[in-house]
Each structure stands twice: as C-alpha cells, then as structure tokens.
C-alpha cells in the first residue's frame, strides 16, 4: 500500500512483507495479538524522530545528581533530568520500582511516561568500560580517547565517529582497523594515511578515493594494488618522492586545495551503487556481510533487517538505530544490545524481551512504559503487577493509546530529553529553532561552553614550527584558536599536538564541529532511490543512495567490477 507521511506529506510504500513483520513483532497479551499498525511517518521522518533521542556529540560539565561529583554528561546543566555517574547509576543504592506510578486512565499514557522519565536516574553518558576517556559517548572498550562518538575498542583516537578497532586515528568517520591516520572517511585497514575516502588496505597515501591495496599514492582514484602513483600516473619511486615534496608542503592551505582537487577527480569517477562487501539481496550503504536487508546503513551482519542504521549482529529488525549483539525481532528502537521481541524502546539490553515503550532496561521481561529497571517483569510505569493484572492493564492502555493514535508510533519528539539542536537529528536533518518546535522538539538556547577571555592564538602554517620550539607548543596549548568558519573558540590538547607533530599535520583552523560537518557532507543521506545502471547498454537496476540528480556515474556491481577493478 502507499501511504502519505503525516509529517512531510511525502508518499511512501508499505509492502506485504512489512505488514507481516508488524504483525510478527506485535505483542501477544493473554493469547491475543494486539496488532501494531503500519507506520504513519515515512522512513526518513521516522529516522529523524529516533535521532532526536540521541544526543551523541554534545557534552556538558555537570554534577552527578546522586554523589554530586563533577561529571561529563549529555545532559546540559539546565536539563530537568537526573544524570548519574556510571558508579552511582550501576550501583544498588537505587531501585527503579521506588519511582513507581499508578496508571491514570484519563491521562494520555505517554504523558505519564514522560513524568516517569523526569524522575528516574539517567546515565550521564552512554559509555561503559573505557579507560582514560572521559569525553566520549556511545562508546565502549576505548583507551586514551577524546571526543569520539559511537565508537568501540579504539586507542589514542580523537574527534571521530563510528570508528572501530582503530589506533591513533583523528578526525575520521566510519572506519575500521585503521592506524596512524587522519581524515579518513569510510575506510578499512588503512595505515599512515590522510584524507582518504572509501579506501581499503591502503597505506602511506594521501587524498585518495576508492583505492584498494595501494601504497604511496597521492590524489588517486579507483586504483588497485598500485604504488608510487600521482593522479593515477605511475612514477618511479625517486620521481614520486620528488614530486610529493613539491605537491605536499603539509600546510592547511595545501591540504584544502588538494582535498578540493580530490573531490573534483572523485566526481568524474564511476561509482559503485553501494559501498559494501559480501551482502546478499541487500540495499542501503556501507553494509557488509548482510543478508535480505534493505534500506540499511553502516551495519555488519544484519539479516532480514529494514530501515536500520549502525547495526552489528541483529536479525528481524525494522527501524532500529544501533541494534547490536544478537538483537532480534525488534521494531523502532534506539541503542539496544541483546534485545528480543520488543518495540518502541530506548537503551534496553542484556537479554530484555517483550518490552514496549520502555527505556534504560537491564535484563527485564514483559514491561510496558518503564524506565531504569533491572531484572524485573510485569511492570507498568515502574509499578510491579501480577502477570494477570499486567495483561489486563496493558490491553487497556493499548486500547487507550489506539484512540489517541499513539499506539504503533515511537516516542513522540516532545519526549526527547534534549533540545533538537543537541541531537544527532540536527546533524542529518538540520532545522531552525522554529522548525524544530513545529514538529514537537525543544531547542537548547544556552551554550554552556566555558567563556574564553584571552587573546586568540593564530597557529603557524607549518607544524615543524612546533616540533622545534617547546615555547611555541606552550603558547598554543595555553590559548584558544578562533574557528575560521564559525568563530567558535577551541583548544588544542597535548595529545592532539603530539599526534599532529608525529604525523606532520598542520594545526587545524576549524572547530571540530565544523570538521565533523565537512566529513558528513561527503556521505549520502539515509535513503535509497531505484535506478538503472548508467553504463551504456546495461539495463541492470538497483537501489542506491545516489539520487537521480547526482552528477556521478553510478554503476551496477558487474559494470563497476569490470571498469574500476
């Protein structure tokens, strides 16, 4: 069936397989299936709504609302919510059921849930088990990392997002197993490289796109197993090194110019319709080892998934953001691991099952509208019921939610604990203050960044100036730089300066938010278009994230393999 999105009015399709899935994931209460209806928002508006529940990158200094110690948190000092430090949140000194509320039949259920959210402690940041990495979020198993987000098992990395198993990687997006590198985007297995886009197993290279197994390449596109190439021209090692010394003086200006050059070369290169490997019957982008999954992005090992992002090992899921660790049969949920047979949840993990409209749940079963419970079952608004009472009341609540149109929808944007501009929604679907309020969002008006009253420092063009002068290093570390784009002040950390000096990278002149935004525009939106291969004579069709009006030549897998590889 074709439906019209309630928010943006665009038409979208709901297939028979989709309807079957909604039925399969619907709760069975007292032997009766209480069906979840087809969505009323288009896939993109649903992504946007889910994204408003993730403040990934905006960190504040605040205090733990339990032990009062200073903490770094995703809740601004003016937030009405109760952030707890990791130690307090995971401790036994509080129990979610102590916040239990009675269900009031005459009040919309999700309004009551919102009241509960305001009372129950919330994790200051979503980053367990890290070492010396206070300023990170959505991240686990990291050591000596700073301002990395949605990133696991990295060491000495900073200013990056969606990086996995990386060492000494700065300013990068969506990379795996890379080291000693800077400004990588969509790369795996790359070493000692800078400014690479969609490259794999490529070392000692700069400003390259879609290169594989290459070494010592500069401004190259679509090369395989090559060495000593500049703009795809094969040179001798001596000539290569001589030319590189002229082409690459390691200044911000030359880096910007070479990057602009690369983007021009990239535009004229044929592109594969998808980034990914070892997929079977899949669509989306940046996916690997997936099967029967559609409209999925930045994911590994998904099966029978749809409209899902940043997943790893999940099956039978729709509309999930960060579903990991054997999650299965889940609809519209955000941040989950090992979650089963559930819908409309946030941060549920550790074997939870049959949860609806719940958040921050650890090992719970059969709960509805709950927050911050550990190993509980048959709870509603954190209140304990018998199984019989639970079933009866859940059926009643679902009936009432049906009458207001809330049943079958994710938490409304108005329940997000953050300002729209604090969330990842604003990175992918930027709105003005007024536009955000119009769709039910809030807006964070205050900045809370520490005031900088000193004089701004203007970095030297050449990093060598710092390598040879300890007093220059001190001056740089002791002051702030004014972002050349946004005017926002930012500081250079010692860890960062050491990295730049080792890799001969000029001191950045833009704030890390601007650098993040620049990497983000290199990636396509989370949306697929049905198109035909643009190679002459080929009529293969596919779903691709490249829209019809894009200038690039988009090829089917066969044509791409023949022409580029």
40 is an interface residue for Zn ion by CB under 5 A: no
Determine how many CB atoms are found less than 10 A away from the CB of residue 506.
21
Determine how many CB atoms are found less than 10 A away from the CB of residue 31.
6
Nearer to Zn ion, 39 or 141 (CB): 39
Nearer to Zn ion, 36 or 42 (CB): 42
123 is an interface residue for Zn ion by CB under 5 A: no
72 is an interface residue for Zn ion by CB under 5 A: no
State in angstroms the smallest separation of the CB of 527 from Zn ion.
11
How far is residue 203's CA from residue 211's CA, in Å, rounded to a whole number? 10
Over the window 13 to 32, marking each residue x when it contacts Zn ion by CB under 5 A and - when it does not, the resulting string is: --------------------
5 is an interface residue for Zn ion by CB under 5 A: yes
235 is an interface residue for Zn ion by CB under 5 A: no
425 is an interface residue for Zn ion by CB under 5 A: no
Any idea what DSSP says for residue 451? P
Nearer to Zn ion, 118 or 563 (CB): 563
413 is an interface residue for Zn ion by CB under 5 A: no
413 CA to centre of own chain: 18
Nearer to Zn ion, 118 or 538 (CB): 538
Structure tokens at 57: 């990158």
Nearer to Zn ion, 66 or 503 (CB): 66
**476 by DSSP, 3-state: which?**
helix
Q: Between the CA of residue 334 and those of 138, 444, 474, what are the distances in Å?
A: 12, 22, 43
| Burial class, 70, CB count within 10 angstroms (exposed 0-12 / middle 13-18 / buried 19+) | exposed
47 is an interface residue for Zn ion by CB under 5 A: no
125 is an interface residue for Zn ion by CB under 5 A: no
Over the window 517 to 556, marking each residue x when it contacts Zn ion by CB under 5 A and - when it does not, the resulting string is: ----------------x-x--x-x---------------x
86 is an interface residue for Zn ion by CB under 5 A: no
Q: Between the CA of residue 282 and those of 4, 272, 301, 470, what are the distances in Å?
A: 25, 14, 11, 54
Choose the stretch contacting Zn ion; rule: CB under 5 A; options: 62-70, 178-186, 214-222, 272-280: 62-70
- To which residue do tokens 């990291």 refer? 142
CB 501 within 8 A of CB 268: no
38 is an interface residue for Zn ion by CB under 5 A: no
**74 by DSSP, 3-state: which?**
coil
**57 by DSSP, 3-state: which?**
coil
Q: Using CB under 5 A, which of 42, 208, 223, 259 touches Zn ion? A: 42
Nearer to Zn ion, 140 or 540 (CB): 540
Nearer to Zn ion, 7 or 503 (CB): 7
Choose the stretch contacting Zn ion; rule: CB under 5 A; options: 45-53, 117-125, 136-144, 470-478: 45-53
Structure tokens at 11: 């038409």
How far is residue 284's CA from residue 301's CA, in Å, rounded to a whole number? 14
State in angstroms the smallest separation of the CB of 8 from Zn ion.
3
How far is residue 163's CA from residue 147's CA, in Å, rounded to a whole number? 12
Angle between helices 387-404 and 109-119 (to 10 degrees): 120
Q: Which residues bind Zn ion (CB under 5 A)?
A: 5, 7-8, 42, 45, 64, 66-67, 85, 88, 533, 535, 538, 540, 556, 559
């Amino acid at each position: 069936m074709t439906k019209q999105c309630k928010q943006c009015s665009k038409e979208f399709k709901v297939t028979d397989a989709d309807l079957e899935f909604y039925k399969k994931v619907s709760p069975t209460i007292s032997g009766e299936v209480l069906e979840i209806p087809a969505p009323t928002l288009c896939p993109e508006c649903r992504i946007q709504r889910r994204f408003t529940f993730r403040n990934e990158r905006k960190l504040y200094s605040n205090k733990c609302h339990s032990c009062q110690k200073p903490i770094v948190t995703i809740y601004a000092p003016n937030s009405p919510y109760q952030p707890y430090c990791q130690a307090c949140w995971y401790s036994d000194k509080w129990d979610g059921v102590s916040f239990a509320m009675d269900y009031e039949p005459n009040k919309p259920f999700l309004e009551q849930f919102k009241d509960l959210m305001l009372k129950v402690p919330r994790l200051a940041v979503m980053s367990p088990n890290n070492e010396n990495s206070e300023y990170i979020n959505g991240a686990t198993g990291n050591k000596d990392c700073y301002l990395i987000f949605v990133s696991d098992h990295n060491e000495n990395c900073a200013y990056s997002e969606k990086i996995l198993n990386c060492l000494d990687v700065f300013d990068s997006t969506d990379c795996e197993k890379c080291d000693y590198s800077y400004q990588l985007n969509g790369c795996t297995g790359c070493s000692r490289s800078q400014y690479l886009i969609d490259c794999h197993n490529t070392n000692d290279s700069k400003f390259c796109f879609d290169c594989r197994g290459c070494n010592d390449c500069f401004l190259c596109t679509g090369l395989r197993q090559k060495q000593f190439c500049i703009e795809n021209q094969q040179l001798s090692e001596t000539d290569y090194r001589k030319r590189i010394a002229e082409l690459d003086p390691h200044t911000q200006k030359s880096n910007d110019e070479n990057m602009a050059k690369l983007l021009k070369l990239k535009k004229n290169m044929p592109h594969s319709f998808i980034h990914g490997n070892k997929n079977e019957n899949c669509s989306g982008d940046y996916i690997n080892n997936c099967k029967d999954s559609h409209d999925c992005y930045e994911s590994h090992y998904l099966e029978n998934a749809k409209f899902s992002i940043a997943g790893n090992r999940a099956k039978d899921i729709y509309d999930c953001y960060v579903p990991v660790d054997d999650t299965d049969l889940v609809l519209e949920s955000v941040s989950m691991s090992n979650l089963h047979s559930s819908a409309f949840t946030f941060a549920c993990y550790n074997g939870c099952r049959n949860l609806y409209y719940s958040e921050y749940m650890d090992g719970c079963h059969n709960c509805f509208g709950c927050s911050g419970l550990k190993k509980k079952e048959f709870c509603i608004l954190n209140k304990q019921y018998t199984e019989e009472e639970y079933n009866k009341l859940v059926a009643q609540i679902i009936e009432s939610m049906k009458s207001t149109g809330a049943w079958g929808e994710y938490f409304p944007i108005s329940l997000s604990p953050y300002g729209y501009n604090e969330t990842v929604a604003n990175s992918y679907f930027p709105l003005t203050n007024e536009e955000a309020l119009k769709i039910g969002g809030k807006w964070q008006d205050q900045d809370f960044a520490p005031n900088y009253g000193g004089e701004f420092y203007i970095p030297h063009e050449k990093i060598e100036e710092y390598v040879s002068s300890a007093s220059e290093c001190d001056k740089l570390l002791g002051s702030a730089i004014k972002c050349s784009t946004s005017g926002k002040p930012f500081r250079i950390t010692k860890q960062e300066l050491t990295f730049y000096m080792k890799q001969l990278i000029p001191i950045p002149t833009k704030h890390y938010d601007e650098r993040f935004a620049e990497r983000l525009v290199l990636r396509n939106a989370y949306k697929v278009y049905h198109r035909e291969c643009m190679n002459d004579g080929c009529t293969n069709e596919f779903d691709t994230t490249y829209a019809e009006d894009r200038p690039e030549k988009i090829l089917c897998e066969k044509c791409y393999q023949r022409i580029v590889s």
